């Protein structure tokens, strides 16, 4: 078990750990037991102003740090995260609830953003014109609870590679990982003030105050589409550049000619990574008539066999949800689908006892007007629908305001590519259940967001501005 007492719990501002200026705290809860495991400071407007000051003060030094040196520091962050992978995974599992195996994958994924951006940091040139160190923005980064490490490193690593200083506001549900990583960055050589971390229970006013400061020039947000809309409106008041990684409603399409076992393996990853609490999670499974029954039966068997328990137990395959509110939302969506005609193949009701658990659930014959067809389930529930033609599958896949991720299973690659080109989505996985990769541009279209994270050039470019200088010599 991870000893959370060893994690620094202060606000991390200008390289110092400090309490909230008003002494307020936020409780952090273990979602598998509902016990309070730590308290972290609750940042005020004064704390936010101090963080912007610290980031601005550090900006000149960081900007002038050579790309090579920045690269070496980022590489060191990768090495330290990799050395401490087990400790970090245990911490993520404790505060987020996800199964240890998912937490281990997250740490590897999160660390990879440092290695990738260490390699990018020395290759920022060409189309950006002058010196490779041309960016110097103070950036506000806001992250969700579902990947406490990776959503932060996916922003911090490219921002630092580009020469920016940052203020990270992690989700209040999972702040411990963000603070543990802040200590690690310091150890890796990140100078004081370059990365600042603030937890707050009043993110609206605290973020608005930071965006109103003219020294802040970038907002990078990962979270729900609803909050993204609010932040875009706030940023518009000051014409601040925004990157938005928002919600998803991924279709998972299985054609008759798919390899059934491969499709089931892929569905289990696409649906059950992080117990379904992922923006890329398969939210709607469309299966062609000829393979439908075999697929539904295979998925039921696999889902029903999953080991449900505390994420920190090594045998756990499906941990608790993040809060009781999340469990109630999932159940509301399931009951709504059932009322509209869905059949429950396994699961389908809130588990008894302590902890925010929802059992792995498979539904079939889910109606197109069920609420879960239009809202993110964000839990271990797989709704299966039958389709007949390729055109039907494409039309139903696109019948959503979201456009983040989509999955297609077919042995006919020409069909796979044709369907992929017609699906309105920022990312498509073809015969593949997992798409997140620091080397690939991650992001959505429609109401799933603006901009891309990771990938060759895309991730770093989000933190840079083109500058044109006409010179007479």
The set of catalytic residues is 245, 279
Distances (CA, A) of 268 to 135, 426, 454: 42, 21, 25
Q: Does 146 bind ligand NAD (CB under 6 A)?
A: yes
Q: Does 227 bind ligand NAD (CB under 6 A)?
A: yes
Contact pattern from residue 416 through residue 455 relative to ligand NAD, giving x for each residue in contact according to CB under 6 A and a dash for the rest: ----------------------------x----x------
Could you give the 3-state DSSP secondary structure of residue 427?
A: strand
Structure-block tokens of residue 236:
């518009």
Structure-block tokens of residue 473:
């010599």
Under a CB-based contact definition with an 8 Å cutoff, are residues 463 and 162 in contact? Answer: yes
Q: Considering CB under 6 A, how many residues would be counted as binding ligand NAD? A: 28
Helices (H) then strands (E): counts for the chain: 14, 17
What phi and psi, each to the nearest 5 degrees, are found at residue 166?
A: -140, 155
Of 31 and 67, CB closest to ligand NAD = 31
Of 113 and 128, CB closest to ligand NAD = 113
Alpha helices (H) along 84-145:
85-96, 100-121
Alpha helices (H) along 305-431:
324-339, 390-397, 413-422
Could you give the 3-state DSSP secondary structure of residue 157?
A: helix
Residues numbered 354 to 393 that lie near ligand NAD (CB under 6 A) are: 376
Residue 201: count other Cβ atoms within 10 Å of its Cβ: 13
Quick one: which of 242, 246, 282, 428 contacts ligand NAD (CB under 6 A)? Answer: 246
Contact window for ligand NAD (CB under 6 A) among 129-137, 223-231, 333-341, 408-416: 223-231
Quick one: which of 132, 144, 148, 433 contacts ligand NAD (CB under 6 A)? Answer: 144
Q: Which residue is nearest to ligand NAD (CB)?
A: 223
Quick one: which of 142, 264, 299, 363 contacts ligand NAD (CB under 6 A)? Answer: 142
Q: What's the CA gap between 460 and 130, in Å, rounded?
A: 16
Quick one: which of 49, 85, 230, 351 contacts ligand NAD (CB under 6 A)? Answer: 230
| Length of the chain, in residues | 473
Q: Does 317 bind ligand NAD (CB under 6 A)?
A: no
Query: Residue 31 Cβ, how far from ligand NAD at the closest point, in Å?
Result: 13
Distances (CA, A) of 450 to 168, 307, 355, 447, 462: 19, 37, 35, 8, 10
Quick one: which of 77, 235, 362, 404 contacts ligand NAD (CB under 6 A)? Answer: 404
Under a CB-based contact definition with an 8 Å cutoff, are residues 406 and 416 in contact? Answer: no
Query: Residue 209 Cβ, how far from ligand NAD at the closest point, in Å?
Result: 11
Of 260 and 445, CB closest to ligand NAD = 445
Q: Does 351 bind ligand NAD (CB under 6 A)?
A: no
Which of 189, 253, 191, 206 has the alpha carbon at shortest distance from 41? 206
Q: What's the CA gap between 351 and 362, in Å, rounded?
A: 15
Quick one: which of 93, 96, 196, 207 contacts ligand NAD (CB under 6 A)? Answer: 207
Contact window for ligand NAD (CB under 6 A) among 22-30, 136-144, 297-305, 345-353: 136-144
Q: Does 175 bind ligand NAD (CB under 6 A)?
A: no
* Site of interaction with ligand NAD (CB under 6 A): 142-147, 151, 169, 171-172, 203-204, 207, 222-224, 227, 230-231, 245-248, 279, 376, 404, 444, 449
């Amino acid at each position: 078990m991870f000893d959370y007492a060893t994690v620094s719990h202060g606000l991390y501002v200008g390289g110092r750990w400090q309490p909230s200026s008003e002494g307020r705290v936020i409780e952090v809860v273990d979602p598998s037991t509902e016990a309070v495991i730590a308290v972290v400071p609750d940042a005020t407007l004064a704390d936010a102003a101090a963080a912007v000051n610290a980031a601005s003060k550090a900006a000149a030094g960081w900007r002038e740090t050579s790309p090579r040196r920045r690269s070496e520091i980022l590489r060191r962050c990768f090495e330290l995260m990799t050395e401490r992978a087990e400790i970090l995974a245990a911490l993520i599992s404790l505060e987020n609830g996800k199964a240890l195996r998912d937490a281990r994958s997250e740490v590897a994924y999160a660390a990879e953003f440092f290695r990738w951006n260490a390699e990018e940091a020395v290759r920022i040139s060409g189309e950006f014109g002058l010196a490779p160190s041309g960016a110097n923005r103070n950036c506000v980064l806001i992250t969700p609870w579902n990947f406490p490490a990776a959503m932060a490193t996916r922003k911090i690593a490219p921002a630092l590679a580009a020469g920016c200083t940052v203020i990270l506001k992690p989700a209040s549900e999972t702040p411990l990982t963000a603070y543990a990583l802040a200590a690690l960055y310091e150890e890796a050589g990140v100078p004081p003030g370059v990365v600042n971390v603030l937890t707050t229970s009043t993110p609206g006013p605290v973020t608005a105050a930071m965006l109103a400061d003219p020294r802040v020039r970038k907002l990078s947000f990962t979270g729900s589409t609803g909050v993204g809309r609010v932040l875009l409106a706030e940023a518009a008041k000051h014409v601040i550049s925004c990157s938005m990684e928002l919600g998803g409603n991924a279709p998972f399409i299985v054609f008759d000619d798919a390899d059934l076992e491969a499709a089931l393996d892929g569905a289990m990853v696409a649906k059950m990574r992080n117990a379904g609490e992922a923006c890329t999670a398969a939210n709607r499974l469309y299966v062609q008539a000829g393979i439908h029954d075999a697929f539904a039966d295979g998925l039921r068997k696999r889902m029903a066999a999953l080991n449900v328990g505390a994420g920190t137990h090594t045998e756990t395959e499906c941990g608790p949800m993040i809060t009781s509110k999340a469990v109630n939302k999932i159940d509301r969506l399931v009951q709504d689908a059932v009322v509209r005609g869905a059949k429950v193949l396994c699961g389908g009701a809130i588990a008894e006892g302590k902890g925010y658990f929802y059992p792995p659930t498979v539904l079939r014959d889910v109606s197109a007007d069920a609420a879960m067809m239009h809202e993110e389930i964000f839990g271990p529930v797989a709704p299966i629908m039958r389709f007949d033609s390729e055109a039907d599958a494409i039309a139903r896949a696109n019948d959503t305001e979201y456009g983040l991720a989509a999955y297609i299973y077919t042995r006919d690659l020409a069909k796979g590519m044709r369907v992929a080109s017609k699906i309105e989505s920022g990312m498509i996985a073809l015969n593949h259940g997992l798409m997140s990769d620091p080397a690939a541009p991650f992001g959505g279209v429609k109401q799933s967001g603006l901009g891309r994270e990771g990938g060759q050039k895309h991730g770093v470019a989000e933190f840079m501005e083109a500058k044109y200088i006409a010179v007479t010599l």
